[in-house]
Amino acid sequence: MKKLTKKKQTITIIISTLIFGFLLGVFISGLYIRKEFREFVSVRKEKGFKQRICNVLDLSDKQTVELDSIFTYHAITMEDLHNEFRKKFKKNMDSLETEIEPYLTEEQKQTLVEMKKTHRRFRKPFLFRKFKKDCKELTIKKK
């Protein structure tokens, strides 16, 4: 077996350290991103709405408990309104497409299909918003 010279040993150690550091960085960044995705809560849902209001207004614990039922009511109402709007918007866009289709050439129809695909592909949720502080669970426990 050939013995490595000091220079080759040094180069081997440096390269292996770089590879190890790279792999460790990839692994740790993956864990961090996974953690961020788990903690993401949409403000369109009740829990996210309550957290957002709590953080923006910087409410005390007492205020949080007192206002919880109001937040719950409005969060649910706003979620329903949002869902209703999305349905109406989709229905309107489908109607528009149906009405203009007879006037379009085949190439224009294909462009319309591609435009719809592109719109869906580039539409991403706003995942990396961080709240100022963690808000306690905003539910009133009834005794």
The pLDDT of residue 70 is 93
Residue 39 is predicted with a pLDDT of 57
Dist. CA 128–CA 14, nearest whole Å? 35
Q: Place 132 in a pLDDT band, splitting at 50, 70 and 90.
A: very low
Candidate from 1-5, 84-88, 93-97, 129-133 with smallest mean pLDDT: 129-133
Distance CA 115, CA 135 (A): 40
Q: Where are the alpha helices (DSSP H) in 43-60?
A: 46-57
In this prediction, residue 1 carries a pLDDT of: 54
- Residues contacting 55, CB < 8 A, separation 6+: 131, 132, 133, 135
**Residue that wins the pLDDT comparison between 79 and 142:** 79
Answer yes or no: is pLDDT of 141 > 50: no
By percentage, how much of the chain surpasses pLDDT 70?
76
d(CA 89, CA 137): 33
Identify the pLDDT of residue 111.
Answer: 92
Nearest Cα to 114, choosing from 124, 103, 106?
106
Q: What is the DSSP letter of 101?
A: G
- Rounded average pLDDT over 2-9: 83
Give the span between the Cα atoms of 136 and 143, in whole angstroms: 19
Residue-wise pLDDT tens digits, 39-94: 556 667 777 888 888 888 888 889 989 998 999 999 899 889 988 998 999 899 89
Q: Which residues of 96-120 are buried (b: 16+ CB within 10 A; e: fewer)?
A: eeeeeeeeeeeeeeeeeeeeeeeee
Instruction: Please give the pLDDT value at position 38.
Output: 60
Phi, psi of 105 (to 5 degrees): -80, 170
